Structure 1
Amino acid sequence: MPEIGIVTKQSGEYVTVKLERQEACAKCRACTAGLTSKDMIVEAENRCQAKVGDAVAISLEQSNFLQAVFIMYTIPLIFLFVGLGIGYGIGHALQLGNTELLAIVCGFVLLTAAYFLIRANEEKWRSKKFRPVAETVVHEKEL
């Protein structure tokens, strides 16, 4: 279901839209909104030629949303578990007494590597494929 927001800025083929944060996404904090505000700011592709002040319907395709969730949550989790496994493996191979500490350190090292991997590919992943879309201008009677 698309969300309705107000266009606050227009730049080229993109618009900045202010939305009211819904309860379902209150804990995600993946948007650029202030943490205490109920408002959320998103940059969306302007397919409806909306102008500043227009109310627009914003959506993100379900498959693209799931891919974005995979990138943001699953990749770091996989790196963390692989790091834990590597740490345990090295600890047992070297017969260290405190393999848990080595596993935790290796897990966090790979988790940090996942963060840098995601940041390094951010421009590629920031393509239109993962960007919300301002589909239609919503008139007052439709609100």
Structure 2
Amino acid sequence: MRLSSGRVPDEPEISLVSLIDVVFCLIIFLVVTTTFEHRSALRIVLPATDSRAEVQLEQPMTVLIDADGRVYIGENEVLKTDPASLRAALSQAAGGNRERQVVVRADARSRTQSLVTVMDSLGQLGFTRIHLATAPEARP
């Protein structure tokens, strides 16, 4: 015989308050630690030249070297600038097209070694259509 005590059996509860607190703390942590840098335009100073020759390029691959020696391929920064990593990044950006034109825009204040490393890496990969970007010399 089944006897009833008159109480309703307890339903198990899952408390979501602590879960919401943890997720909220994670969101705050991620927002605070994330850097919001927008690198749409790098300010570099090109070396000056007297030449007025302009070359018409059809969608060239652009390699930027800023004053601090950081290298950018297109809009993406190459984090490791050793020759092997640079060759891998250049090869990935170019795909299989070694006939593609490459424009190297090096800041006039950048170290020469950064430019030499980029040019050497391009040469080792077989690029032959390499152009150095310059700015016209300012006349008083």
Provide TM-score, normalisation by structure 1: 0.23
When Rg is computed on C-alpha atoms for both structures, the one with the higher figure is: 2
Q: Which structure carries more helix by proportion?
A: 1
Provide TM-score, normalisation by structure 2: 0.23
